[in-house]
Amino acid sequence: MKIGIVCLALLLWGDIARADAQGDEWAAKMDAIVNQVCANIEQECVVIYSAYGEDAKGMPVNNLHEIAVEGQVIVVQPHDAFWGEGAGYQSEPLQNPTWLDLAKSANQMIHTTGDYHHVYLEDFEVVGTKDGVSYIQLLMGS
């Protein structure tokens, strides 16, 4: 009986060690993404990038270089006084913005609107088009 318990303990310990190693790998990949975003932002970096994909092992995939939206885009976000003092946000026109471009815009948007509660860039949605320009809102989580 004791041998069975010892074997079970060793198996569990091996699972824990593998989970720790995967956790370390996951954290390293996330750190690389976060560092790349913040290295490209001049003002205080408050956005947290969460619009990455995952590989077959569940590890974050750095997609910052990929085009997020084809064509000309303007990011818009109305101000919501409940979430902070600030103003509505509208970016300069962006041509074929990458996910990094959207992360930079999200950071500017957070500072402009004063909404420091919703800082996780998760996705975007097209809210309108006019004269060939897509207007998008960034989907921000907390």
Q: Which residues constitute the domain of residue 80?
A: 1-142
Longest dimension (CA), the chain: 76
Structural domains in the chain (count) = 1
Provide, for the chain, the percentages of residues in helix, strand and coil under a 3-state DSSP scheme, each rounded to the nearest 5: 40, 25, 35
pTM assigned to the model: 0.85
Q: What pLDDT score was predicted for residue 13? A: 52
Q: What pLDDT score was predicted for residue 22? A: 80
Q: What's the chain's length in residues?
A: 142
Compute mean pLDDT per 10 residues along the chain, 142 residues long, and list them: 50 50 88 96 96 93 97 96 93 98 98 96 98 97 94
As a whole number of angstroms, the distance between CA 115 and CA 77 comes to 11
Q: What pLDDT score was predicted for residue 84? A: 85
